[in-house]
Every structure is written in C-alpha cells, then in structure tokens.
A and B are shown apart, each in its own frame.
Chain A
Amino acid sequence: MKQLVKYFLKRVLLYFLIFVISLSAFFFFINLVPGDPVTRYVQQLEQRYGISTPLTEEIVRKYKEAFGLDKDLFTRYILYIRRLVFEFDFGPSFVAFPKPAYSLIVDALPWSIGLLGTAVLTSWILGIFIGTVIGWKRESKVSNFVLICGLVASQIPSYLLALILVMVFSFGLGLFPMGGAYSAALKPGFSFSFISSLIYHAFLPSMSLILIYVFGVMISQRALVINLLGEDFLKLAEAKGLDKKRLIKRYILRNTLLPQATGLAMSLGFIVNGFFLIEWIFNYPGIGRLFMMAIREMDYNVLMGITVTTMFCVLTANLIIEFLYPLIDPRIRRG
C-alpha cells in the first residue's frame, strides 16, 4: 500500500514538474523570439487594409497596454502564470476582443477530445488485436503481407492521409461531407438523425487517424508478442497444454498491456500534432481548427491558450494512463 502511494505521488510530482518546465520553456521561447505579436499583428492589418503608419504606432501602444505586453518579460511571466493558475484565464482574444480566449477554447475542446479519444482508443484496441494475431501466426503469408502493409501505412503522416481521403471521398466521389461536425440543418440533441450526422461527419477525420495508428500499434504489438513467444514463461505455459484462448488472454495479452499503455502515452503528443491539421483539413470545429484560425489572425492569446490546453490535456492523459499501470502490472503495485 505504502509503495502504491509512493508510486502515485511520484507520478503526480513528475507530472507537475514536466508541466511547469514545458509551460515556462514555452513561454520564454515564444517571448524571446524576435518580433512581438502585437507588432506582427498590426503589420498584418496594415498589409491587409492599408492603414497608415502614424496610426499604427498609437494602436500598437494601446494594444500592448491592453495585453500587458508593455511590461518586462519576467513580470509578464508571473502575470501569465498567476492568471492561468488562479483564474484559469488565457487573456482576451485579439480577434474576438473582448471575448476571452478561454471561452473560444472551451467551446472547441470537447469536439477534439471526443473525436481524438474515440479514434485513438479504437485504433489502439484494434491494433493490439491484429498485432496479436499476426504475431501468433507470424509464419503465415497473410501475416507477412499485413506486416509489410503496416510498415508502409504506419509511416504515412495522418494529415497527408486526411488530404487524400478528403480529396477522394469528399471532393472526388462526393460520398462524405466536406467539413463540419454535423449537418447545419440539424439541431444538436439526442436524436437519431443528429447522432448519425455526427458519426457521418466524424468518419473521415477519425479514419485518417485510425488507418495509420492501427498499423503502428499492430507492428509494436507483433514485436511484443513475438518477443514474448521466446520467453521462458510462455514456453512453460505452452508446455502446460493450456487452451489457446487462455494462453493468449492471460499469458500474452496481459503481458503486452503495460508496454502498449506506455506506447500509447508516449505517442499521444505525436498524434495530437497531426490532429491539428486533420481538423483544419476537415474543417472540424475543434481546437485544431481554432488554432489555424488564430494563426491566420495572429491571435496571440488564443494560440498560447490552445498550446497550454493541449499540453495540459496530453499530460493529464499520460498521468491517467500511469495511474492505471499498477492495475496492469502487479510488480508496480507492490514495489
């Protein structure tokens, strides 16, 4: 019990450490980059609308004041962190001023988490399943064929697949919608038509993730299974003449679960990276698309807010997975 508590405490501590380090590194990184956001923003306005220079000087000063950018770096850091921690506030949005960046993000976040969560879990489970089968039957031609396909497919960046899918199925064949999360004609609610519209719209975006990540998980699962097949305890389990179902479930799957959970935790960040573009490509109303809109408008606070939010979400997902470890592996449970 004591060890378990110690384990959890350590995880939580590391979680905060990584969060604080990343957050600070990120903040200083962004703020030390030559060229400040307000100037860049105003420059852009200038280009776009042809506003004359003397006016912009004034605007820049006002904007800087409004966003607290006139203070020195360290004060800004303290202010930022304080606002973040105590008020959970990212500051106002440039574009939707004075609407806070926070509310934009909160509106978008559930869409992303829903789509991403479903896609990742689906591909994780499916990948483990297929990987176990082709690892168990590694000599068969089908397994080798699937493996070779996987070696190719797992290397395609999800956003490129998204482009291909949208091109072929939405533009080319017209089978799927061009974007959005549900048909604009429907009112959100628990109706059959709404939910089927949700699934219909989410299908291609999630497929661009699933079709790739399934193969990634499959390949690692196959390697894990085959590695296990050489293990002494599996030799013994086989010598015991266990039926296949029991053998695979209790002796193989159980033992691959921990590394697969770790793999999931480690690859979340990478998956989210690609997901930003997927949302943009499918015009899906999550934070990825919001991020791209903010990029176009150079909406500094929204960009910062989204980055911090994704960091937070991914790290929390990691922490949750790590909290599950002791359930998976007794060696962690009792030290």
Chain B
Amino acid sequence: MKALKNSPKFLTGLIIITCLIVLALMEPYINDYRLKGHSPTEIGLYDIFLEPSWEHPLGTDSYGRDVLALLLNGLKYSLFIGFTAGGLATIIAVFLASLAGYKGGKIEAFITVLSNSILIIPSWPILAIIVLFVKKIDLFTLSVILAFFSWAGPSRQIKPQISSLKARPYVDLARVNNFSDLEIMFKEILPNFLPYILVGFSVAVTGSIMAETALRIVGLGPGDIPSLGQVINWAIYSGAMAIGQYLVILIPITFLILIFVSLNLINVGMDEILNPKLKQITGM
C-alpha cells in the first residue's frame, strides 16, 4: 500500500476519477442551483443555441437546454451505470473464477471456454439486439445486461490469481483444520486477492461504460436516462457537427476519455506494484 503512494500513475488516475465522482455526486446541488429547480433535460428552458456566456458557460443546445447541466447530469448517469454494471460483473467474475479455480476439472474448462467465447466474439451487436428488442428497459435492467457481457474481462484478471493462491500452503492448512470450501474461499483466499478484484472491477467499469456509450450514441437503450452517450446522440441528431457546435460533442467525449484513462492508470499502477516483474519493467 505504501508502494501505491509512490506510483505517479496510480495517484494521477485516483485523483482524476475521484474528481469525476465528486462532480457527479454534487451534480444535483449544482444543477438545482444553476437551473433553479428545473430538470437539466427540460426542453425549451432557454433559447436554443446560445453562445457560451457567464450564465451558460457551455451555451445551450438545439432543444434550449443548458449544455453544462446536461453534461454533469450525463456524467452522473454514465458513472452510475458503469459502477453498477461493473460491480455486478465483478461479482459474477469472482464467483465463476473461484468456482473454476477451486473446483478445477470440467467446471473450470467450461467456464474458461465460456469466458473466452465472450472475449473472442464481438459481443456488442448481440448487446444491441437485446437492448433493441427488450420492451421496457430501465437503469437496472440495462446494468444487468451490460454486466452479463463484461464479466469475462475481470475474470481473466482474477482467475490466474485464484489458481495460484489455491496452491499456497495455508489453504491446505485451512483444509486440514476442516474449514468448508466456502470458508476457505472467503476467509483465506479473498483478502489476498482483493487488489486483483479491484483491477478486475475497473476493467469491468470501463467495459460497461464503453458498451453503454456505444449503445446510447446510436440511439439504443432507455431514452429517459440521459447518460453521456445519450448527450452525444442528441448532439449528433440535432446537427451539432454541421453547425459547428463542437463543444457539445467534444466535452462529453473528454469526460468519457478521462474516465477510461484514469481507471486504466489505476490499473497500470496497481499492476506494476502487484507484479514485481512489471515493476522492474517500468523502472520509473
């Protein structure tokens, strides 16, 4: 842990993502104050296509909405979906990886084929079709569907660790002392690979947000949840590009990239510390 403090990559990532999360948490207060109680998505609240000004730092869009308010609101939803889906995916991954690593044999082989299939096969079209044909899709359903497609990534991080931990003597010791399989899993193994779970988690969050944004940009998914992807979709379909309203698209893109980059920096930083060979690698 002390080592983490000395990793500039980890720290940079942590600071950026913390800022974004704080911004998302404060969104209701900021927007409430700025929009005087109106919803950020309320149509026709202001004149359309206002230039950036003190009152509207990023101007307004083609529906007369304050762009800054939309962005903060979008950030909140994107992060929320990402963390929910990512969390669910991590739980699935930990469960399946433990099962595979611990039981071995046929079960392990099956889970490996399954997670490899999800990794190898282009899953986004499948996701898109599902979302298209599901009648009513809400925030939670969407997260569950996303989680279902993003557990393979974290599983790949976690599984080798479980397999290697299983081989360590204290697990045998625990077995001699007649702990149940479940107890061994939770008492002995889990604490040891918490860092790997965290790495897996941020991989899953990234994957979920990426997939969600891609869905929303093309106009799929719950229209009443204005995440960043939806904001971009609105901008594209209102012709923001053609009339030179680049900021409306560029800023949500920047937010998204910041999320992805910061999570990855955290991962790289952790990796370097967890994996002594990698630590040698960077030498910085």
Binding site for B on A (CB under 8 A): 14, 17-18, 21-22, 26, 29-30, 33-37, 40, 138-139, 144, 151-152, 154-157, 159-160, 163-164, 166-167, 171-172, 222-223, 226-227, 230, 265-266, 268-270, 272-274, 276-277, 280, 291-292, 295, 298, 303-304, 306-307, 310-311, 314-315, 318
Q: A155-B260, A269-B121, A292-B218 are in contact. Are A163 and B232 (CB under 8 A)?
A: yes
List B residues 185-214 near A (Cβ within 8 Å).
206, 210-211, 213-214
A157 touching B242, Cβ below 8 Å: no
Chain B residue numbers with a CB within 8 Å of A266 are 119-120
B218 touching A29, Cβ below 8 Å: no
B14 touches A (CB below 8 Å): no
B249 touching A159, Cβ below 8 Å: no
The segment from B18-26, B87-95, B122-130, B162-170 that touches chain A is: B122-130
Per the CB 8 Å criterion, the residue count for chain B at the interface is 50
B48 touches A (CB below 8 Å): no
Partner of A138, one of B116, B117, B124, B283: B283
Chain B residue numbers with a CB within 8 Å of A230 are 277, 280
B265 touches A (CB below 8 Å): yes
CA distance A277 to B268 in the complex (A): 28
A272 touching B281, Cβ below 8 Å: no
B120 touching A151, Cβ below 8 Å: no
The residue of chain A having its C-beta at the shortest distance from the C-beta of B220 within the complex is A295
The residue of chain A having its C-beta at the shortest distance from the C-beta of B252 within the complex is A160
A151 touching B265, Cβ below 8 Å: yes
The segment from B30-38, B51-59, B100-108, B131-139 that touches chain A is: B131-139
B278 touches A (CB below 8 Å): yes
B214 touching A277, Cβ below 8 Å: yes
CA distance A18 to B261 in the complex (A): 32
Q: How far is the CB of A95 from chain B (nearest CB, A)?
A: 14
Q: A30-B129, A303-B129 are in contact. Are A268 and B250 (CB under 8 A)?
A: no
Partner of B253, one of A22, A29, A163: A163
Partner of A171, one of B129, B241, B261: B241
List B residues 1-31 near A (Cβ within 8 Å).
9
B264 touches A (CB below 8 Å): yes
Residue among A164, A222, A265 with most chain B CB within 10 A? A164
CA distance A161 to B36 in the complex (A): 35
CA distance A276 to B126 in the complex (A): 12
A268 touching B283, Cβ below 8 Å: no
Q: A139-B283, A151-B261, A157-B260 are in contact. Are A314 and B121 (CB under 8 A)?
A: yes
